[in-house]
Amino acid sequence: MAFILSDCFGIRISHRASNIIRWIAAGLFGTLTLCLVFLNRYFGAISLALFIYFILAFVFRGSSAPLPLSARLVVALVILLSTSVITALPWVVFGGKEACQASRGTYKTPSGQGFEDHWLEVTLRLVFVWVLALQASFVNLGDHPPSAHVRQSIRCITFGWFGKLLNIVTPIVDSCQVPQWTEEGFRPTDAEEVYFTVFGMATHYITDVWFLQLVVDRLVAFQAAYGEKLPCSFVIVWLSRVMIFMAAMQLFSVVSPVVSLTVAMVLTMGVCTLSILHCGAYMVPYNDLLQAHKVEIATCNALSVEMEKESTFAMLVIRKSQIGFLVGCIGMVAAFLTNGLDWFILPRAKTLWMIYVVASNVGSSAITFSFVVLSGVNFKWCNCRSKLQQRPAETGGTSMTRGDLRHYSQKSWSFDATTSRKEVRASDWQKKVADLAMRRISVETLLRFFLQLGSDDAMPHFDPKRSTTNDVVRHVVIPHSRDGSLGRSFAEKFGPQKALTPKMVTHHWSNRFCDLVAAVLADALGLKRWDGVAEHLRSPGGGERLQEQLYANGTLQSQYWICAFCINQHASICGSSMGVLDTVTQTVLPSCDCATMKYLNDQPVQCELNKFDDMMAYLHRQYPKFLQVVAIDFDFMIFSRAWCVAELVQADASRLEQHMMIHSPSILEKNSSRLRSIQVQNLSCRGANL
């Protein structure tokens, strides 16, 4: 999002430079790892596992598109062939079970493990590693929409499989020759097998860390999309960081049995607590969706059918997130406990060791299974990258447009503008675009509208410090723009008679309506921040003083295109509020029973929700001074809305002038880290009105 940083900070971030820095860091890390491998086998193996993790998780962090089909086939083939080679190792290298038993003899380790015990361990590990290999092959072969999160999940599964695969080498060698053990029951640090054992253990715990990171990232992204703080989200984030640190500490559990058991117990209790909090956090939006689902079933119209599909899909995503995390946590807890007890109880018992082998592999299988459930990969064999490249740019040179974002959203709301325009007459489409573009609302009308809020006939419970744009649209905009049994857009009913050069306002409906109005008025006054205007709007007589300032400034009749007023809500969303609650009263927002025909994506020409790109291009052609005003909310949540960012991308690609309206410089500084980390693939693809 270089253009956002350019506007806010005066700098332009180079993606290429960022990649170079990451590769330089990887080179330095690799050099350190190489030195450790020769100096100390134990720490060298740990460093090697960390180095591979660094490459996969951070150097390739920006990768989001699936690999080409040929590359996916090669990766899956390598996984299956490598697993087959390790499986055949006892027969190819050592001559089979009989030869291994003869070579091993009757020697038993200090914990009492003989040939049969090690051979059983090899068999169990091979069974589990084949499970991991099949899961890794599945996710690598499958297709998915561009997503950095999914790519990270796939790499995590493959990384876990690779560690478990190499970890089998040690028990195979132990089964086919006399193993080296100290009298205390530990393997000598200079033994060649240490590389494989320690590397396998390191990848196991790093996979646990990676799993926790991705699950928490998913929850944080979901919270941003939901628009409200989820219960205990702050505690979940910090508890996960503590668990990540403790999981890393298990790599050094050989230091002391007490340390091993303590770390294992802390991890067990922490992960159990984390799983409970995680599921509880998801229950709040799930219950909201469940209520909306019941309302939609009771309401029979085209919009309700589409909304029912959306709510069902969202509830399924939440359930998958809960189940996937619980499955992964159960496996992790089993591995943590048995590992801690195995190091604590000396001399080490072979039964406990076998339980640990099973538990650790069950844990890895559970984590990879949860990733498979959450990844959403499929076998449609469509190359998403080529689709993005083949879709023609409709209004500019941007590589990601609103149409592209919708193309990868839930099926019932997806809309391929290119295909639709081939099926309809271009003149009908352009006529609707021109009709939308001619709607606008003046600053004077917007200010008067705001000042009447709170009156008996205009949302009496309106609270400028809490009520959102969504609340105002449902309570006031929709009812006041209705004429009898039909409805039209608010701008068509109350808009100015004479069309002037408009400004398009990009905002999101979860923002406080007072802040939206303040941002528009601040722009009309030529300001760069809206905090002072918001204070005037909330103070007695402040609205009248603002009107005088706007009149003196000559901008009282300036015109703005704001979707809440310029889109005909009666032709799209008025029939169902999806069970969403009013921010102040906590009651379900009202719905409208008008007879206006609803036009959604199944009727793309008449639909008003799919033409923002074309409308911006049309206004830019008609009015050379047309520009975009970005109403940045106090919490900078606008940058987590895919539709809002799509408008920013489109405006930047069309070389539109952009006015970034912020609350204050201090709030900008507070949220600067969020701007630096914006990635389109991590945005929330919610409805345009949310």
- Tens-place pLDDT, residues 259-290: 777 888 888 888 888 888 888 888 887 887 77
Strand partners, 482: 487
Residue 12 has pLDDT above 60, yes or no: no
End-to-end CA gap in the chain: 22
Q: What was the pLDDT predicted at 391?
A: 34
- The radius of gyration of the chain from alpha carbons, rounded to an integer in Å, stands at 30
String of DSSP letters for 294-331? HHHHHS-SHHHHHHHHHHHHHHHHHHHHHHHHHHHHHH
The helix-helix angle for 513-524 and 542-553 (nearest 10°) equals 30
**Most confident by average pLDDT, 16-25, 216-225, 483-492:** 483-492
Q: What was the pLDDT predicted at 394?
A: 33
- Rounded to whole angstroms, the Cα distance separating 689 from 610 reads 12
Inter-CA distances, 335 with 324, 329, 338, 340, Å: 17, 10, 5, 9
Q: Which residue has the tokens 């675009």?
A: 433
Averaged over 394-422, what is the pLDDT? 35
Residue 14 has pLDDT above 60, yes or no: no
**Alpha carbon 623 to its chain's center:** 37
Q: Which of 167, 176, 165, 159 is nearest to 196 (CA)?
A: 167
Between these two residues, 223 and 480, which has the higher pLDDT value? 480
- Rounded to whole angstroms, the Cα distance separating 490 from 482 reads 8
Averaged over 648-660, what is the pLDDT? 80
Asked if residue 190 belongs to a domain, the reply is yes
Asked if residue 361 belongs to a domain, the reply is yes
Asked if residue 392 belongs to a domain, the reply is no
The answer on 536 and 594 residing in a single domain is: yes
Averaged over 358-381, what is the pLDDT? 76
Q: Which of 155, 317, 144, 327 is nearest to 221 (CA)?
A: 317
Last residue of a domain, one of 30, 46, 62: 62
The answer on 111 and 57 residing in a single domain is: no
Least confident among 279-288, 299-308, 341-350: 299-308
Total domain count, the chain: 3
H-type alpha helices, 540-664: 542-553, 563-566, 612-622, 642-653
Between these two residues, 426 and 332, which has the higher pLDDT value? 332
Strand partners, 486: 483
The answer on 500 and 368 residing in a single domain is: no
Question: Percent helix, strand, coil in the chain (nearest 5)?
Answer: 65, 5, 30
Averaged over 397-416, what is the pLDDT? 33
Instruction: Read off the pLDDT of residues 513-538 as tens digits, 9 standing for 90 and up.
Output: 999 999 999 999 999 899 999 999 99
Averaged over 177-197, what is the pLDDT? 68
539-564 CB burial, b ≥16 within 10 A, e <16: eeeebeebbebbeeeebbebbbbbbb
Residue 422 has pLDDT above 50, yes or no: no
Residue type, 370: S
Averaged over 220-233, what is the pLDDT? 74
Provide the token pair at 278. 């995680």
Q: Rounded mean pLDDT of the chain? A: 78
Domain range for 56: 15-62
Residue 449 has pLDDT above 90, yes or no: yes
Torsion of CA 132, 135, 137, 142, to 10 degrees: -160
Inter-CA distances, 21 with 14, 25, 451, Å: 11, 6, 53
- Rounded to whole angstroms, the Cα distance separating 257 from 260 reads 5
Between these two residues, 11 and 14, which has the higher pLDDT value? 14
Q: What was the pLDDT predicted at 467?
A: 94
Q: Which helix (H) or strand (E) holds 481?
A: none
Least confident among 268-277, 325-334, 381-390, 438-447: 381-390
> Residue 59 gets which letter from DSSP?
I
Q: What was the pLDDT predicted at 442?
A: 93
Residue 417 has pLDDT above 50, yes or no: no
Residue type, 281: A
Q: What was the pLDDT predicted at 415?
A: 34
Asked if residue 88 belongs to a domain, the reply is yes
Q: What was the pLDDT predicted at 470?
A: 92
Q: Report angle CA 598, 604, 607 to the nearest 5 degrees.
A: 40
The answer on 27 and 100 residing in a single domain is: no
Q: What was the pLDDT predicted at 294?
A: 66
The answer on 653 and 551 residing in a single domain is: yes
Confidence of residue 393 (pLDDT cuts 50, 70, 90): very low
Provide the token pair at 45. 């193996």
Averaged over 433-459, what is the pLDDT? 92
Asked if residue 326 belongs to a domain, the reply is yes
- Rounded to whole angstroms, the Cα distance separating 592 from 486 reads 10
Least confident among 174-183, 324-333, 569-578: 174-183
Q: What was the pLDDT predicted at 13?
A: 46
Averaged over 184-211, what is the pLDDT? 76
Asked if residue 615 belongs to a domain, the reply is yes
The answer on 580 and 431 residing in a single domain is: yes
**Most confident by average pLDDT, 122-131, 575-584, 611-620:** 122-131
CB-based burial label for 565 (10 Å; 0-12, 13-18, 19+): buried
pTM above 0.75, yes or no: no
Between these two residues, 250 and 27, which has the higher pLDDT value? 27
Residue 503 has pLDDT above 90, yes or no: yes
Provide the token pair at 675. 């701007």
Last residue of a domain, one of 359, 375, 391: 375
Least confident among 40-49, 402-411, 545-554, 659-668: 402-411
The answer on 180 and 148 residing in a single domain is: yes
Q: Which residue has the tokens 């500019």?
A: 396
Strand partners, 631: 661
Judge contact between 216 and 240, C-beta under 8 A.
Answer: yes
The answer on 212 and 98 residing in a single domain is: yes
- Rounded to whole angstroms, the Cα distance separating 90 from 169 reads 10
329-341 CB burial, b ≥16 within 10 A, e <16: bbbbbbbbbbbbb
Confidence of residue 383 (pLDDT cuts 50, 70, 90): very low
- Rounded to whole angstroms, the Cα distance separating 8 from 672 reads 9
Provide the token pair at 670. 């507070």
The answer on 55 and 82 residing in a single domain is: no
Mapped onto helix, strand or coil, the DSSP state of residue 181 is: coil
The answer on 633 and 598 residing in a single domain is: yes
- Rounded to whole angstroms, the Cα distance separating 608 from 436 reads 8
Strands 627-631 and 657-661: parallel
Q: What was the pLDDT predicted at 473?
A: 94
Provide the token pair at 664. 């204050």
Q: What was the pLDDT predicted at 480?
A: 92
Q: What was the pLDDT predicted at 520?
A: 95
Last residue of a domain, one of 338, 354, 375: 375
597-631 CB burial, b ≥16 within 10 A, e <16: ebbbbeebbebbbbbbbbbbbbbbeeeeebbbbbb
Between these two residues, 378 and 651, which has the higher pLDDT value? 651
Between these two residues, 308 and 214, which has the higher pLDDT value? 214
Sequence length of the chain is 690
- Rounded to whole angstroms, the Cα distance separating 303 from 292 reads 13
Asked if residue 1 belongs to a domain, the reply is no
Sorted by sequence, the CB contacts under 8 Å of residue 239 that are 6+ apart come out as 270, 273, 274, 277
> Residue 288 gets which letter from DSSP?
H
In 327-438, the DSSP E strands lie at none
Judge contact between 138 and 161, C-beta under 8 A.
Answer: no
> Residue 56 gets which letter from DSSP?
I
Least confident among 328-342, 372-386, 527-541, 542-556: 372-386
Q: What was the pLDDT predicted at 403?
A: 34
The answer on 300 and 229 residing in a single domain is: yes
Confidence of residue 76 (pLDDT cuts 50, 70, 90): very high
**Most confident by average pLDDT, 289-298, 385-394, 426-435:** 426-435
The answer on 620 and 535 residing in a single domain is: yes
Mapped onto helix, strand or coil, the DSSP state of residue 690 is: coil
Confidence of residue 202 (pLDDT cuts 50, 70, 90): confident
Asked if residue 292 belongs to a domain, the reply is yes
Judge contact between 268 and 337, C-beta under 8 A.
Answer: yes
Q: What was the pLDDT predicted at 307?
A: 59
Residue 428 has pLDDT above 90, yes or no: no
